[in-house]
Chains A and B, each alone.
Chain A
Amino acid sequence: MYAKEFQDSIKAVEAAREANIAYEPARMTAKEKEELLAAYHPDYKKSEFSELKFGPNKGESVPKELCEMLEAHSRIKADDVDLTAPKYDVDILIIGGGGAGCAAAIEANEAGANVMVVTKLRMGDANTMMAEGGIQAADKPNDSPAIHYIDAFGGGHFAAKPELLSKLVCDAPEAIKWLNDLGVEFDKAPDGTMITTHGGGTSRKRMHAAKDYSGAEIMRTLRDEVLNRGINVVDFTSAIELILDENGNAAGAVLLNMETKELMVARAKTVIIATGGAGRMHYQGFPTSNHYGATADGLVLGYRVGAKLLYADTLQYHPTGAAFPQQIFGALVTEKVRSLGAKLVNRDGKVFMHPLETRDVAAASIIRECSDRGEGVDTGEGMAVWLDTPMIEKIGGEGTIEKRIPAMLRMFASYGIDIRKEPILVYPTLHYQNGGLDINADCMTTNIRNLFVAGEAVGGIHGRNRLMGNSLLDIIVFGRSAGMNAASAAAKTSLGKLTLDHIAKFDAERKAAGVITDKVSPKLLPNYTTRKSEL
């Protein structure tokens, strides 16, 4: 139940509801989209970016907060640890226990490799767990990997690396089958047909889901499988520095027990970075839909040993973060709400865009509505627009919300809002790191041998914007592939002497570039103890 200051606007939304359901707003033209993005999308706000002064991407712009972490000091000096006495000695070290890390671990174990996973929180404390809407795969007769490719390539502004994107779409059906065979419960019709919907920017209904717990269902199944296989998972332990061998190949990492602060050395023939995203960096002061540990650690680790980043200047702001009540400010309101028929409407109850534009376009459109157009709703904490959820029950019949998006129903019900009867207030929230480490189709970084990357820490799979449902897909496709390829690389590798010489080298480069900083990185966790307003 909303306070009275919202009631006038809600009445306008209700009055227009029937007409808005029938109304099919036009999709924007390519030119309209370009102009909208340039004027309103946060990626285009130059003052929020800094140029990297040294390192593999010297001269390129990245978000200020990321630049600070990439150029920062290591948390350790090379002689803080004894590289000749590793606590762990394995074929494959996987950094990160989310969807990509677990998929990699399962395949590496299947290939017979000795594999370990380190994760700074618990296995499964990851953005994968929070993905609600679904996972794409072109497995219906009216669809094909080629159509999926065109959707994703265009949605990503024609910037994806073709060899990565083709792998994503061609391996997608197999990824769904693999998950299904592990016991993941996809929404299906009684005859076994997958129940699929649209996502923003898709031209076929290829969004597979497990209600609106799609990521949670995938994550808990992968976690269960990792445990069944007896894979060594070292939790509450972060990787704070990669280790190379004397030949410059990845050879392990320095680990930090998050609770006791003990430093340990893990020696590994190959390393897989599966550290996920960066929402908790709060770029441009945005709230985030990401989990607590999303601090771009993998990008920092990779950059310091010389691995290149690709598209690190592009972030995804999910158009519909919860804007009210403040307890859930920034939390994800799944795109599936729009897939099921809810439209975005402004203060006056007017539909101002097609609900299934791509995420960057939708986010920019909402920002425009709330800024220059002055058509937003004032929540007391900022501006927002309505997402008219009661439309779903009118279109799909009573009970649709409870059946298809129970998590959303529950999240708002906790604060006395019944989304079946009342619309909800939304505003863009920092959601996804489009860019990341540059890899080849075998998941190995382009310039550091035996350093593999999978999941959100990769750049280039999606280009400069990602479609809904392609991230759950990429963690599985590239996670599995990284696990298999790391296993075969490990079998062919004999390590040279371990070294942390890159730290001093990086320090020298910083000095030569004239950069002075007292920051250390990776960030590991955000600090909310003093900043009450940031969630």
Chain B
Amino acid sequence: MEKMVNIYLLGKQYQVPDDLTIMRAMEYAGYQLVRGCGCRNGFCGACATIYRIKGDRGLKTCLACQTKVENNMYIATLPFFPLVKQVYDIEKIKPTEQIMMQLYPEIYACVGCNACTKACPQGLNVMQYIAYAQRGEFDKCAEESFDCVMCGCCSSRCPAGISHPQVAMLARRLNGKYLAPKTEHLENRVKEIKDGTFTELIEALMGKPIEEMKELYNNREIEK
């Protein structure tokens, strides 16, 4: 017999099995989800959720698809959070400190409360990556923020109104495009293909009878 727990979905009480995730508990209760449900596997950030256990003072944040229900859990889903996303032309901007001042000046209003870090369901050091962004250290900001799923939990708790996931997104693109080392073998291969280096080879393969292709496939050399 499965053990049941009390939960409160947007304030209303339901009894659900204790081994369900919050998302599954909502469905068990009868919700046909349209909002607040995406990949169901912790990658898309659609199911940001705020909860409090009855009697606790602390307010917690999580992803509904990755968190088990607990007894007397008060649950409020946060299917959308109004993050600020500034637009820019990635070809024209430069990876300098000025770009953050220009697009996301509010990051310099960070009061250092660390509520963002405490709120992150991915366990990222959010305040630290914002500090890197302030200093224009985009490579470090990119690395520190890499596992961000852009759920917005951090921003929902920020007294300075920072849209942390969007700041990190900008830093990662700057790093990926401008700061990370260039890949010579990639540039070379793109050029070789444009020059038609492999055209004949590929066309020959396309025209080969299946039996010959089987021979080639079954006897191909596999890199160790």
In the complex, what residues of B have CB within 8 A of residue A205's CB?
223
B185/A327 in contact, CB under 8 A: no
Binary contact readout B180-224 vs A (1 if CB under 8 angstroms, 0 otherwise): 111111110110010000100111011100100110111011110
B176 touches A122 (CB 8 A): no
Cβ of A139 < 8 Å from any Cβ of B?
yes
Interface residues of A in 478-532 (CB under 8 A from B): 525, 527-529, 532
B81 within 8 Å of A (CB atoms): no
Q: Is the CB of A193 within 8 A of B150?
A: no
What chain B residues lie within 8 Å of A414 (beta carbons)?
Answer: 66-67
Q: With A and B bound together, what is the CA distance between A154 and B216 in angstroms?
A: 9
- Taking Cβ atoms with an 8 Å cutoff, the residues of A that contact B are 27, 29-30, 121-122, 124-125, 129-130, 137-142, 144-147, 149-151, 153-154, 158, 162-163, 166, 169-170, 173-174, 176-177, 180-186, 188, 190-194, 198, 203-205, 210-211, 213, 215-217, 220-221, 224-225, 227-228, 230, 236, 258-259, 289, 291-292, 326-328, 331-332, 406-407, 410-411, 414, 525, 527-529, 532, 535
- CB of B41 within 8 A of CB of A154, answer no
**Contact among B68, B189, B217, B220 with A139 in the assembled complex (CB-CB below 8 Å):** B189
Q: Is there contact, CB below 8 Å, between A125 and B38? A: yes
The answer to whether B173 has its CB under 8 Å from any CB of chain A is yes
Which residues in B have their C-beta under 8 angstroms from that of A151?
217, 220
Would you call A121 and B46 a contact (CB within 8 A)?
yes
Q: Which residues of A contact B187 (CB under 8 A)?
A: 177
Question: Min CB distance, B130 to chain A, in Å?
Answer: 18
Complex Cα distance A163/B181, Å?
34
- Are B198 and A144 neighbours in the complex by a CB distance under 8 Å? yes
Interface segment among B6-14, B53-61, B86-94, B153-161: the answer is B86-94
Docked pose: A60 CA to B90 CA in angstroms: 48
Of A139, A151, A527, most B-chain CB atoms within 10 Å: A139
Interchain CB contact under 8 A, B40 and A149? no
Other 19 A-B pairs with CB < 8 A, given A227-B87, A529-B30: A30-B214, A122-B44, A129-B44, A144-B198, A150-B205, A153-B213, A158-B213, A158-B217, A169-B202, A185-B172, A203-B223, A221-B173, A236-B34, A327-B20, A327-B21, A406-B147, A410-B122, A414-B66, A532-B27
Complex partner residue of A184 from B67, B176, B198, CB under 8 angstroms: B176
Complex Cα spacing A173 to B197, Å: 14
- Seen from chain B, the residues whose Cβ lies within 8 Å of a Cβ on chain A are 17, 19-21, 24, 27-28, 30-35, 37-44, 46, 66-68, 85, 87-90, 122-123, 142, 146-147, 149-150, 169, 172-177, 180-187, 189-190, 193, 198, 201-203, 205-207, 210, 213-214, 216-218, 220-223
Asked if residues B185 and A139 are in contact (CB atoms below 8 Å), the reply is yes
Contact, CB under 8 Å: A185 / B34: no
State whether A194 touches B206 (Cβ < 8 A).
Answer: no
A191 surroundings in chain B (CB, below 8 A):
181
**A141–B185 CB distance below 8 A:** yes
Give the residues in chain B near A210, CB-CB below 8 Å: 146
Q: Are A192 and B183 in contact (CB under 8 A)?
A: yes
Assembly CA distance A216 to B45 (angstroms): 11
Residues of A contacting B175 in the complex (Cβ-Cβ under 8 angstroms): 183, 185
**Given A185-B142, A188-B180, A532-B28, A204 contacting B223 (CB threshold 8 A):** yes
A359 to chain B, nearest CB (A): 16
Determine if A203 and B41 form an interchain contact, defined as CB atoms under 8 angstroms apart. no
A-B contact pairs, 5 of them (CB 8 A): A176-B186, A182-B176, A327-B68, A328-B41, A411-B42
Report which of B19, B123, B169, B183 forms a contact with A224, defined as CB distance below 8 A: B169
Q: CB-CB < 8 A to B217: which residues of A?
A: 150-151, 153-154, 158
CB distance from B71 to the nearest CB of A (A): 17
| Choice from A129, A192, A204, A331 contacting B181 with Cβ under 8 Å | A192
CA A211 – CA B46 in complex, angstroms? 21
B27 to chain A: which residues have CB within 8 Å?
528-529, 532
Q: Which residue of A lies closest to B172 (CB)?
A: A185
Whether B42 pairs with A407 at a CB distance below 8 angstroms is yes
Contacting residues, chain A, for B172 (C-beta < 8 A): 183, 185, 217, 221
Query: Contacts A149-B205, A203-B223, A289-B41; is A230 near B146 (CB within 8 Å)?
Result: no
Complex interface: chain A residues within 8 A of B33 (CB): 292, 525
The reply to whether B185 and A174 form a contact with Cβ atoms under 8 Å apart is no
> Could you say which of A122, A130, A139 contacts B186, with CB atoms under 8 Å apart?
A139
* Given A183-B172, A193-B183, A410-B122: A529 in contact with B31 (beta carbons within 8 A): yes
Verify A183–B221 contact, CB threshold 8 A. Answer: no
- Contact A407 B202, beta carbon cutoff 8 Å: no
Which 10 A-B pairs rank lowest in CB-CB distance, beginning with the nearest?
A183-B173, A154-B217, A192-B181, A125-B38, A183-B176, A162-B206, A185-B176, A183-B177, A139-B189, A173-B189
Cross-chain contact A331 with B41 (CB below 8 angstroms) = yes
Interface centre among A141, A150, A216 (most CB of B within 10 A): A216
